Structure 1
Amino acid sequence: MFTVQTEAYQLEGILKEKEELCRKLQFQSAESEQDSVRQLNQNRKSEELLEQYRCEVQEFKLKHRKQRMKFENQLLHLIEQHKNLHSVFSPERLSDEITSAENRRSQLLAAGKCPLLTHAHKLLILYMHDFSVYVCQGLVVIRTQEQGRQVWECKHKASFY
């Protein structure tokens, strides 16, 4: 009987140890499950954030591409304008343009509508690369350099005498 009681006592101790171990394992299992759920949520949020960043990068690239295309179109338009202006005010046609401008100036003088420098004169002056002085109907236009840029000055011919 003594051995049966001792054995029962030992078995009760083993039972308590196993129950304690079972509680510990259940607690660890619950913690692992919570960690797993937390990690899944964190992964989902990270993927959403990553997708958001991808969209923002794509949007930025598209915006930059639009700006670049707009700039290229403006540049092409400007080049085309320059080609058109160059064909009109080329050095080969300069003497004809000067004569034409002087004739227009004479007509304006005769009509009493003589602005100091007409728009046509301004354009001619801008494209006169090889000349530093331009004389037209009593006006002298002088090209000078100030601080690395061209400056055009218009004076009446009489002020030089």
Structure 2
Amino acid sequence: MDTPFEPLRFTHQKRHLHALIMEQQAWFCARDLGRLMGLFLENRLVRKLDPDQRCTLNLNYYDEAQEMLMVSESAAYALLVHHHHPANSQLRQWITHEVMPALFVARLHSHHNSPTPARLEWQDGELSVIHWQNEPWIRLRDMPSLLPGREALPAKTEKWSATTGR
């Protein structure tokens, strides 16, 4: 079983919100966000969100590994707007001004092991790279352009069956 994600736990009006940064995006526990909004945010309501706004993660939830439904930052704001209630304005401000900055500060101070996009200056230009495990990783198709006298491979290549003549 995969190691559960370790979220940060925030408290607002004596209720908790588990949140984390994954692939440079904030994710919130749907159950916790729903409690803060006074709603039951489980599959039915969350299914209306776009697929990139929801996911299920193995989360360390109150010191127990559980599969939890998570919503992205954009989904959290969409839910707050769609289920408008005067108290949600204060919740939105709390998420915007306290939770989000704390998540990004915690990310900067953590020693996470997720790939992050970066730019590498090389000879007369820049390359897109992924910084992972304290090293820059370069796309295979960009390698020929790094070697003298070689051109970059095209971004789209033929299907494998077309190159073998099948």
TM bucket normalised to smaller = under 0.3
Structure exhibiting the larger radius of gyration computed from Cα positions = 1
Tell me: higher relative CO, structure 1 or 2? Use CA pairs within 8 A at least 6 residues apart: 2
> Which of the two has greater strand per residue?
2
**TM-score under structure 2 normalisation?**
0.18
